[in-house]
Structure 1
Amino acid sequence: MDYVLGIDIGTGSVKAVAVDTKCNSFGAFQQHYAFTSPQPGYHEQNPEEIWNAFKKSMDGLIAEIGNVPKAISLSSAMHSLIPVDENGNALAPMITWADNRSSEIAKGLRSTETGLSIYKATGTPLHAMSPLCKIIWLKENDPDLFSQTHKFISIKEYIWYKLFKEFKIDYSIASCTGLFNIDLLDWHTDSLNITGIDSKMLSEPVQTNYTKFLESGIAVVIGASDGCMANLGSGGIKPGIAVMTIGTSGAVRIASDKPLPNEKAMTFSYILDKDTFICGGPINNGGIALQWWIKNNIKHDLGETDYEQLFEEIAGIRAGSNGLLFLPYLTGDRAPIWDSESCGVFFGVKLEHGKAHFSRAVLEGICYAMYDVLDALQENAEPIKQINISGGIVKSDIWMQIMADITGKDLVITQSEDASAVGAALLAMKALGLIHDYSDLVNKTPKMVKPNPNNGEVYLRNFRIFKTLYSDLKNTMHEFYKMNL
């Protein structure tokens, strides 16, 4: 059987997925790994452990299938940073997207004209997740490591160097570093100046369809970032279609033929290929907020039935939770508020509110936060008519109905799992001429959730209060945060 292997290098695991030439996935192999947090705010991983997981996933799935793929294509988590020597050896642990040690640097940049100009040129939000801020932090706090570094690279570049002994970075991963000019397709001078490095300390940027061959003759396509690949794998690369993913965190993304900057919301504009940008924003508090609520207020040892019971209980609560609102900022948040000092809030609590009201308010709060990102994206994008949805939310009909009602959009379930790996396979198929365009991925009989306009009126009123509530409490949140450090 002819197939392509899409491999997604994630934060918690590498997952390889086999996709046949009719764009159907039929096999998967996953290898997990851990992270360390040696100090508060640190989030690090061993790049060699990830390389070994990559090899095990690739070799394991090929062995299961019994014949080699036509090609291998790579998807990767964004914003990682590894200082390496001239032979590609890591000089320190990899700093992941979740590392927050450079948050003060990001906060300072957001208040300057230089920072805003860098955001507009690079399409990358000014946040601790970005390699831009991580490199500045290393320069200021670990000058010995900074001076010893030959190149600063991502985990995909690390793996690519292991495969081919060359330092290359695809335009997609480059476009989420804060160091790459997405119009000129080259390293951005102002970013290099404030980090104190030159372009020689970064890999050579290449198109996302850049291809090399292993000794076995298998083509390897360098691919793109996991967010861009998820849109491709979910069928969200046409105007008017957004992709929402809710797992532990969440993200909203749309495809565009040009960057869509929004200085206030600081939405991102990352490159999928030479014709397509994927624009959007991530939130911190998706399923993690729901998990927190159930674990601490319903049942400590979580199981699937506990989620199902919660969904059943809230079905009897009307839209709007009888005037109860929840700001879900339990871990601060990213888009569109970019406020690591924000916190969770229940508002409007009255005697008539029971546990089921609070449970529904938590779900609604997560959906409001996602809609807040979508609302920012719609300011300068084509009108959104449909949302392709994936992640843990698809396991709950009522959660999807709440999202449809709050956004006022049709929800379509396309690729419920492995969207990034499937997207990687699709990109390779197009690059190698196995398919002519991405329309082959379209689900002809998708499951669809229609919004209830009556509920939508309630949610629209509550969303305005949701926005105002954060604005009114912002300074108090910051003051309280500093008091409790």
Structure 2
Amino acid sequence: MRRVLGVDIGTSLTKAVVFDENGNSLAQASAPSKVHHLRGGAVEQDFEQVVGTVATVVRAVSAELDGAVEALALTGQGDGLWLRDAEGFPVRPAISWLDGRASELLTAWQENGVTREVFRRTGSGMFPGCTAAIMSYLDTHEPEVLDRAVVAGYCVDAVVQRLTGEITVDISDASLPFIDPATRAYDEAAIEACGLGHRRTLFADPAPPKKVFRLGRAGAALLGLPEGLPVTGGPFDLPACAIGAGVRRPGDGILTAGTTLACQVLTTDAVYDREGEPAGMFLCTPNEGEFLRGMPAMVGTAGIDWACKLLGIEVAEVGPLLAASTPGAGGITALPFLATSGERAPFVDAGARAQFRGLSLENTRADLVRALCESIAYAARHCLSAAGLSGTLYACGGGVRSPEWTQIFADVLARPIVIPDDPDVGARGAALVAAEAIGEPFDADLWAAKSTTVEHQPGAAELYDRGYSEYLTSLDVAREQWSR
């Protein structure tokens, strides 16, 4: 039986899943990663601890198998900055995509036209936690760190380097913000616009599509796998989830209701409105000529976790509370922008902040929870509209494990949502790419066939259509306030 081991290195959790050729999960394991929230909006991770989680989960699933795997397929979190030396060891703690230390710099770039210039060239907006902003910040405040580094990359390619010895980067990771999607090469003028031309050597050349690496001696010893085992490094988690969920046709999209709200739509056209709002991402995929228009909003289950802590409830209580309120949340409306670093899609504003309006003594905590969940669903509609959704919509992530919240998403979006039965779609996508890369592709349609469809309710959809218009109006007013 053919088997591939997929590893998804998330921000707070690393998962390993072994898949057979029919897409069945044979073994799985997970291990938590530590996320350090520091002063000034800084968010960092210890690379050695993250590598340790990879070793833990790989060894755990390997112990459950009675045979070998054909390949190790890696995916994981994108953005941020993972600086390493020539041997793959960190020169400072990894800086997360959640990081907000470059917020003031990003605001200055918005005012002086840097973000718009980069967007015109690459189709990607920038936000405080993207590589360009963090590198520019370090170039001013920690230049000696950049001087010591040999490569400025991301989580997945950092792990690839440690396991294989290869300095590389997947084209999907490199897409934000310096890759021209039409040429799949760095746009040198975009790098210069961010003042990073003198740091150009830190950017690794993107690997060819479906590049296969080999597990080195040190990596084999760390993971307990055979030296020389084929290894693939990407795409990162957003496009990996799209592939694993079943996004195949132009116009199809995926909503990932995770820590953030990642919305993507597949397209074969690298043309975009260069004068539009500089936000979102234009991600290259493993298939040349195919792209994902990504709108990964900072809102998501992190906001639900905040609400649960504030209200003194468990996450398991969210579903019953949603059922205890009604569409419209008892008159409460909300803007869900709780991230310290603001918002990055479908607009970028480091000053974006949450609001709750319309509260009265008659409202309950069920109304508050529902208002927040409805506002996140409105944000999803905003993102998917900006990304150009026209086909089938798939969904994954912790948020859609709640039937009540999934129904809200379907009703707000006024369309059916297809939910894969296997929640580990990121690892699935990485495994599908790995199988194709080693020349023995799996049946992707067979893998995507196991799913559940949630239909929207026309009556609720009509109410939410009015609510969405009100949401956009409130957002316009709030953005004027934030700018002041």
Q: Say if 1:368 and 1:406, in contact at 8 Å, map to a contact too.
A: yes
Matched residue of 1:4: which SS? Answer: strand
Asked if 1:146 is matched to 2:146, the reply is yes
CA shift, 1:52, in A, is 2.4
Cα offsets for 1:240-272 (capped at 9, x unmatched) = 322111123211111112336453161211122
CA contact (8 A) 1:172 1:208 kept: no
Residue type of the alignment partner of 1:434: E
Which of 281, 297, 302 in structure 1 is aligned with 2:295?
Answer: 281
Which residue of the partner structure matches residue 307 of structure 2? 293
Cα offset for 1:353?
A: 4.2
Amino acid at match of 2:163: L
- Does 2:357 correspond to 1:347? yes
Query: In structure 1, what is the equivalent of residue 222 of structure 2?
Result: none
The question of whether the paired residues in 2 share the 8 Å contact of 1:21 and 1:434 is answered with: no
Cα distance 1:145–1:386, how it changes in 2: closer, same or farther (>3 A)?
Answer: same
Which residues in structure 2 correspond to 1:48-447 (within 5 Å)? 48-176=48-176, 178-193=177-192, 194-214=195-215, 216-259=227-270, 261=272, 263-264=276-277, 266-273=279-286, 274-297=288-311, 300-302=312-314, 304=316, 306-314=317-325, 317=326, 319-331=327-339, 332-349=342-359, 353-378=363-388, 384-435=390-441, 438-443=444-449, 446-447=451-452
Separation (CA, whole Å) in 1 of partners of 2:208 and 2:425? 21
Q: What is the SS of the residue equivalent to 2:40?
A: coil
1:464-475 to 2 correspondences below 5 Å: 464-475=469-480
% same residue? 25
Change in 2 beyond 3 A, CA 1:45/1:434 = same
Which deviates the most, 391-400 or 97-106?
391-400
What residue is the counterpart of 1:5 in the other structure? 5
Q: Name the SS of the counterpart of 2:69 in structure 1.
A: coil
* Structure 1 pair 346–38 and aligned structure 2 pair: CA distance change class (3 A): closer
SS in 2 for 1:206: coil
Alpha-carbon contact 1:208-1:223 (below 8 Å) kept: no
Native 8 Å contact 2:346 2:383 kept in 1: yes
Q: Deviations over 1:430-467 (max 9, x none)?
A: 222322663232225x3212122222222111211111
Alignment equivalent of 1:450, drawn from 437, 450, 455? 455
Mapped partners of 1:153, 1:343: distance in 2: 29
CA deviations on 1:126-164 (whole Å, 9 max, x unpaired) are: 111211111111111112223333322222222222223
Kindly provide the amino acid, as one letter, of the partner of residue 203 in structure 1: A
Contact 1:167 1:203 (8 Å CA) reproduced: yes
Letter paired with 2:328: G
Read off the aligned partner of 1:278 and give its amino acid letter: L
Q: Secondary structure of the equivalent of 1:132?
A: helix
432-441 or 359-368, larger mean C-alpha shift: 432-441
Q: Write the distance in 1 (CA, Å) between the matches of 2:305 and 2:41.
A: 21
TM-aligned CA deviation for residue 181 of structure 1: 2.6
Which segment is superposed worse, 342-351 or 150-159? 342-351
Range moving further from structure 2, 136-145 or 189-198: 189-198
- Structure 1: how far apart are the matches of 2:271 and 2:295? 11
Query: 1:66 & 1:346 partners in 2: Cα distance?
Result: 54
Stretch moving more, 236-245 or 349-358: 349-358
2:250 and 2:461 map into 1 onto residues whose CA distance is 24
Q: CA deviation at 1:92?
A: 0.9
Question: What SS does structure 1 have at the residue aligned with 2:34?
Answer: coil
Q: Which runs of 5+ in 2 are unaligned?
A: 217-226
Structure 1: 5+ residue stretches without partners: 480-485
- Shift of the alpha carbon at 1:477? 4.1
1:476 and 1:114 mapped to 2: Cα distance?
Answer: 23
- Tell me which amino acid in the other structure corresponds to 1:131: T
Alignment coverage as a number of residue pairs? 467
3-state SS of 1:29 partner:
strand
Give, in whole Å, the separation in 1 of the partners of 2:478 and 2:35: 34
Asked if the contact 1:231–1:243 (Cα under 8 Å) also holds between the matched residues in 2, the reply is yes
Q: Are residues 1:462 and 2:470 paired?
A: no
Rounded Cα–Cα distance in structure 2 between residues aligned with 1:235 and 1:395 = 18
Between 1:46-55 and 1:219-228, the stretch displaced more is 46-55
Label 1:352 to 1:385 Cα distance change in 2 as closer, same or farther (>3 A).
farther
What CA distance in whole angstroms lies between the structure 2 residues aligned with 1:110 and 1:385?
A: 33
Cα distance in structure 2, aligned partners of 1:196 and 1:55: 36
- Residue 322 of structure 1: how far off its partner (Å): 4.7
Q: Check whether the contact 1:79–1:129 (CA below 8 A) recurs between aligned residues.
A: yes
Query: Alignment partner of 1:205: what SS?
Result: coil
**AA partner of residue 136 (structure 2):** I
Q: Is the 8 A contact 1:20 1:26 kept in 2?
A: yes
Paired residues of 2:305 and 2:315 also in contact (CA < 8 A) = no
For 2:221, the equivalent position in structure 1 comes to: none
The residue type paired with residue 349 of structure 2 is D
Aligned to 1:5, what secondary structure does the other structure show? strand
Of residues 155-164 and 130-139 in structure 1, the stretch that sits farther from structure 2 once superposed is: 155-164
